[in-house]
Amino acid sequence: MHNNAARWRIRNPRGWFAECKCVAGCFDVPGWRSFGLPATRLAGGLRRYLTISRALTRPQALSYLHLLAWATLFGSQFYTTFVAGIAMFKTLPRQTFRDVQEVLFPAYFQLSTLALALMAVLAPLAFSVTQQQWYLLGAAGIATLLNLFWLEPATTTVMKLRAELEKMSDAASTGIYPEGKAAQMKRFGADFGKFHGLSSVANLVALCAAIAYGWSL
């Protein structure tokens, strides 16, 4: 008998809430009403909770998480590219800027990779992904992975080598390099320009792909 009643309550939650409201109205706890919390509000609160939980269906929750991942990707790309990077380059000393860049950009590309991975996993679960959207995700992912595993580490390595050469030859203050060091410094400068330029292009490709993907949602 008790098992049948329990099954009825599970299968008929609205009837159970109505029963709770009726019982709560008959056996109001003394003192609750004085605090503005009558027992009859318990059933109403539970009913509203059930309504909200049913409204937030699984596809909607997945769509929200997917949109949150895209917003994280685009926000970090825009802020790092057009705000933080430019502000640090203009205001910080060169050595301090190198130190910050060495920590900031790997974390930035790791965050972008994580956001893109979440988008790739959640997108087919939340909605029907078009071929164009897969191409955009792939372009952003390839560009970000190139920066994460090749271009950014290479740029940072060349930066460190050039800074060490400047420190050893005391050229940071005089601007004059000893014989044999000038050619090496010139090579480091060319390598830095190459890797930094490729890294910037890859970052802009990922940013444009993220913008186009967001527009397609």
Give 161-173 pLDDT, tens digit per residue: 887 877 776 555 5
Contact (Cβ atoms closer than 8 angstroms) between residue 104 and residue 155: no
- Which residues have a Cβ under 8 Å from the Cβ of 145 and sit 6 or more positions away? 113
Which residue carries 């992904």 as its tokens? 129
pLDDT, residue 204, reads: 97
| Angle, helices 181-216/152-169, rounded to nearest 10 degrees | 150
Give 103-146 pLDDT, tens digit per residue: 999 999 999 999 999 999 999 998 899 999 999 999 999 999 99
